[in-house]
Structure 1
Amino acid sequence: MPDATTPRPEPFTARTSSAELEDLRARLRATRWPDTPEDAGWALGTDLDYLRELVAYWADEFDWQAQEAALARFPRFRVRLGGLGIHFAHARAATTTGSATTAGPALPLVLCHGWPDSFWRYAKVIPLLTDPGAHGADPADAFDVVVPDMPGFGYSDRPTGQALDSVAVAGLWAELMGVLGYARFGAAGGDMGSHVSRYLALDHPDRVAAVHRTDAGLPVFNGDPADLAPEERAWLKETAAWGATEGAYAAMHRTKPQTAAVGLTDSPAGLAAWIVEKLRSWSDCDGDIERSFTKDEILTNVTLYWLTGTIGSAMRMYRANAAIPPAQLTRRVEVPSGFSIFSGDVVRPPRAWLERTANTVRATEPARGGHFAAFEEPELYAEELRAFFRPYRAAAAAAGA
């Protein structure tokens, strides 16, 4: 808990210069476009026609200052942890500010993002979690929400040496929650954030009251397949097939991230192509990306990567995670675990696998939403978190949270 030696968070406000935006627009307007086979659409990767439309909008209509101001509505800070400046949003519950309810102590909750995103992933859901009473839900379900940018992502520092893996990031988030005065808290995440929240539960079970995830990651199993349930064996085959057709990006990130980083850091159109294809493929949009994300939402995420220059450092985390020892990958989570496996997500694990790998006390399959559920379906995601964490509030409060 905080004492005289505890690092002190400092308020943070992002400010972008007009010169940075003019350079971005000039690069967009000077894009050198590749050829593409007729009627290729999205079959070979990003649809060039859609990307041209998006880039034109980015250059001439997108209002970054308005989006930057919208993100600034969250209280944001930077703090020095592990030798790195860590950026995070820290939105206290209405119960603790006294602005809306008197429902009792809020549950501290750290939300862990993945790739290709940042604290942006949770921008829509933060108000629903901090002030549920203002959004038609029970005020007693309020959270104190902490959303950090992982090192090398967003407004956090880029490691100058080897990237941190998910185990190390989990250790930083445990330290961060202590700096903020939270002795016990909940953790939740998706994508790489699912790994981070898992390691928070594995390595800090005395502090993590419960952990919620929207996926279980790609499966790691070293035993006899005959010991698996039929649906588990089918899932292993399904994820292997998905990796063969959809996993080229991850192979590049794990092996030669710097090669891709050169082009993606130099070309905003290239950066958009790399990210937009994943937003479309992994969301519950039925092939129409703008069913899940508006152009402004897409470009807010991409522009964060562009202005912070973090696409290379974010990709390098895949290489770091690939070096995690196998013994770490197969540890079972004993902290009470919940899963919301959204219907539009990729590689959706069966309940048998969730129970094999974690003390699964709740698992649901929401009918809408994909890999970015907190952004695609914020109301549904917020309700999933409220329902799962409800039984663990009293224990966290008793621990001095």
Structure 2
Amino acid sequence: MGFIADALSRVKPSATIAVTNKARELRAAGRDVIGLGAGEPDFDTPENIKQAAIQAISEGKTKYTAVDGIPELKQAICEKFKRDNSLTYETSQITVGTGGKQVLYNALVATINPGDEVLIPTPYWVSYPDMVLLAGGEPVFVHADPKTFKITPEALDKAITPKTKWFIFNSPSNPSGAGYTRDELKALTDVLLKHPHVWIMTDDMYEHLVYDDYEFTTPAQVEPQLYERTLTCNGVSKAYSMTGWRIGYAGGPQNLIKAMAKIQSQSTSNPCSISQWAAVEALNGTQEFIAPNNETFKGRRDLVVSMLNQAAGLECPVPEGAFYVFPSCAALMGKTTPSGKVLETDTDFASELLEAEGVAVVPGSAFGLGPNFRVSYATSTEALTKACERIQRFCASLK
């Protein structure tokens, strides 16, 4: 047995971070690289939020806070849940963590016993399975339709066993951008009503990043009978362009929230005090920048979908939300690059694309579904146009 814990042998490093780092290294070495790997808005944090943080510093709000969030932020979160999701929580039912990832992880560590199963629809955000493994549980994958990237009620029902503890639900989705309609979500919650031992963990991080006539809903909103066994998770990272501020939050049953606070008290303690005051302003302040930002994202989405569907061998569905597309490159498997490499996997596709054209994308296999790849369109229209032209050129060069 080595010095490093055996549990870590079950865990993979984040594929999205790996792609971003590789692109950064190539750029530092002088290569012209366009990185489409990062799930991060390119808009600056709105001015009113930055000013709230500056004011907090000026007023000396730089000390330790309550472990899982200041009362003012918990109250703002309660009001947000009521305003946007018709969900009523007390501040004792709210937790604030250092980013959405910590909130999810705390919940899993606080509840999972060895052998417990956690249902995760594919394609999934890369961290879900590894967080489950670190918590001592077993990820169980519910396979989505590869065209719509959504699971059916029948597939969910079939996957549930007596060992199932959680169902993780992410809509709009990272990596596909797929969003479930209210009726589609109701069909899933009907299944969950039949299995009272299964808890629901939502990841609503892309709630406000939706397009066309798509309307966001969350499970406890669609089916109030699930309220007592749902942890509704969200954060300020995406809609408010606050990725680096690291504030995530959740509402749920008081006993679970207390257990999560116990985990946090012995790991990181409170989130950054300044970031918390900035998040109060994000939730309570003007929301007027969200709609124009979404219009920009929608224009980029339409550009990328159109250009990728013009690339030989790619098939790119139109997502309902988030800022990702998840095209299939299945038709390119078995093709040969000009350098003589035969493409056997989506990892081959991504590696050869980066080498030949300097475009960094994330292989779909990292998200549990391939052969696909994820493109983040949270970057400039100019960069996206250039990147898609390079992808078209690369696909045309395959024999």
Q: What TM-score, normalized by structure 1, do the two folds share?
A: 0.29
TM-score (norm 2): 0.29
- Answer 1 or 2: higher relative contact order, Cα 8 Å, separation at least 6: 2
